[in-house]
Amino acid sequence: MELALFYFTCVVLLVSVGSFSLCLSTFIVTRRKTYGLAAVAFLSYFFDVLMVFQDYYLFSGSFHEIADAYYVGQPFGLLVTGLGVLASIWLIVCVSLDIRHPAWLIGPCVAFCLASAAVWGLLPPGNVRLFAFVTMREAFLLWSLAVFFAKTALSSDAFRSRMRKRIPFFAVGALLVVCVVVENVLTMFVVPSDGLLTGLVAILPERNIAENVLLLWCAAWIWMECYRVLSIHFRQPPVMSEQRGLEAIHAGIDLYAERLRLTGREKDVLLLVLQGKDNQNIASELQLSPSTVKVHVHNILKKANRGNRQELISDFMANS
């Protein structure tokens, strides 16, 4: 059992650093903020799990002599790594929902830090303090999911349609978050405290198997997403004038136009711009004057905060 736990932890570490590398690569290729934030989350979790090994190494041979079975070796370190994971996840939610207000971006992360510090500093040592401290993570995750689903329900049909494809991921993820809480209850309140300190590898209270499985589930999903995105860019590069490029445009233009608050005519012009057509061709197809098309293109570039058409196309590919 101890050997299996050791190798399982090694797998979690390898998957974490592998997912970090893959997300970082995808971010460099696509410039999508969500992949950059996911890379930070996986890297933070790598160091989070690494602390388990560090604590066991520091207390190897003497851990059984510790009087407090609910010992946590690095509360500040766990707070920092936990913040790295949770802040990244929350910012992914904000980017997906186009939330930009600083209070929404920063407020929940500050609240998590203050609440965790208050729990650790004010409650007496023991299982209650530990449970409240570590379960702050799951509370934050569930709250983030609740905000995401509430905002999604109020979003456009195009956005809701995209999110329906991710329902299995969110459903299994939410179930695993609940399992993390259940495991915390069992290990901290049900299983005798001396049972936590048996075997060659101590089951430290700062580790949670269900949480590791949640990490593996998120990694499996993100690997599939990264493979899909990178395959488009490398194996089948998107050419806007070809059929595959047209499909990509039509799949994302509604959401992109809504995000920029484009008018109906600006959306029509954008559709043709993304296909690489110049103002004269756009004017002929939409039966507009070239000067009117020029004004629409200028307004679109201004709303997207881009300097030229190529930057606009790149922004569409990154955010649609």
pLDDT at 243 over 70: no
Highest average pLDDT, of 21-25, 47-51, 281-285, comes from: 21-25
> Is it true that 2-234 and 243-319 share their CATH fold?
no
pLDDT at position 55: 61
Instruction: Give the residue from 125, 119, 103, 283 showing the smallest Cα distance to 193.
Output: 125
pLDDT at position 67: 40
pLDDT at 303 over 60: yes
pLDDT one-digit tens code per residue, 170-217: 999 999 999 999 988 888 888 765 555 444 344 444 468 899 999 999
For the 243-319 domain, the top CATH level (class) is mainly alpha
pLDDT at 27 over 50: yes
Protein fold of 2-234: Rhopdopsin 7-helix transmembrane proteins (1.20.1070)
The residue extents of the domains of the chain are: 2-234, 243-319
More confident residue, 57 or 128: 128
pLDDT at position 205: 41
pLDDT at position 165: 81
pLDDT at position 68: 47
pLDDT at position 203: 46
Burial (CB count within 10 angstroms: exposed 0-12, middle 13-18, buried 19+), residue 287: exposed
pLDDT at 145 over 90: yes
Mean pLDDT of 22-27: 94
Mean pLDDT of 145-168: 84
pLDDT at position 212: 92
Mean pLDDT of 147-167: 82
